[in-house]
Amino acid sequence: MRHRYIGDTAVSAIGLGAMPLSIEHRPDETRALATVHAALDAGVTFIDTADSYHWHADEAGHNELLIARALARYGGDTSDVLIGTKGGRGRPGDGSWTVTGTPAHLKRAAEASAKRLGGDAIGLYQLHKPDPAVPWAESVGALRELLDAGTVRAAGISNVTVGQIREARQILGDGLVSVQNQYSPAVRDSEAELELSAELGLAFLPWSPLGGISRSSLEGPSGPSFIGTAFHRVAAEHGVSPQQVALAWLLSRSPAVIPVPGASRPASISDSARAAELVLSAGELELLGEVLPG
């Protein structure tokens, strides 16, 4: 597995998005644990979670606890695994998502996440989404306090604009190490945020990176699916899955990019991890550059 950097920490070029293991239509725990273990077996050393990755209202932190159990039960060395979690969103249990970016909430959420994950501090703590009811500087200021208190080692921001990245950098300095926005073959609205992340030395972590190739867990069975795209044609030529081609394409966009594809089956993350070794030609990359239909 090739490596890239989140701050000064080397991680696998492909991460694991653990959300599908805990939300609606989630697998049973045996398969969920096997999926995390398959990721580790494939060399994945970055796992993305959040306190809001759960299904029912009374199970906040379900995914964090699941990841902690999976690591504890894994037979190999997990000392180089970086867990990135997020705070600032909630799930009332009716399928909706809420946003709460007050400093008091974020600090409580981070402390609760730290207890669930174990260890001395959270490796990467990300502000899940800006709260329109709270000044951005106040929410980011909570991350600054968490860094200063040692509750978290590094901070990230998610679902943000160029202006919000610049403001967060001013507040957090080198403590800010990552940006996580939606970015995929079908959704490329965050080109400017990707470019700025690379310029500032921040890791760019695309969520729902297989959009246009596979349905997102957030889209459900009615989500869009494109068949017969250039990604499928290139995949057939290489004898690999379209998902591998999509992830390899993302990796080619910038050294800052570390995709975190979701998975709910061991075979899915094992396949995704192999994208780190897939080399696409200049001609193939040019072919894949066309934006998929919306």
Residues designated as active site: 53
3-state secondary structure of 252: helix
Distance CA 96, CA 111 (A): 24
Residue 171 host element (H or E): helix 162-172
Report yes or no: 102 and 138 within 8 Å, Cβ to Cβ.
yes
Distances from the Cα of 186 to the Cα of 69, 223, 268, 283, 293, angstroms: 34, 12, 20, 20, 7
Give the dihedral sign, CA 35/36/42/47: positive
Report yes or no: 230 and 291 within 8 Å, Cβ to Cβ.
no
Burial 92-112 (b: 16+ CB within 10 A, else e): eeeeeeebbbebebbbebbee
Q: Which residue has the tokens 């990230």?
A: 156
Angle 206-64-24 from CA coordinates, rounded to 5°: 75
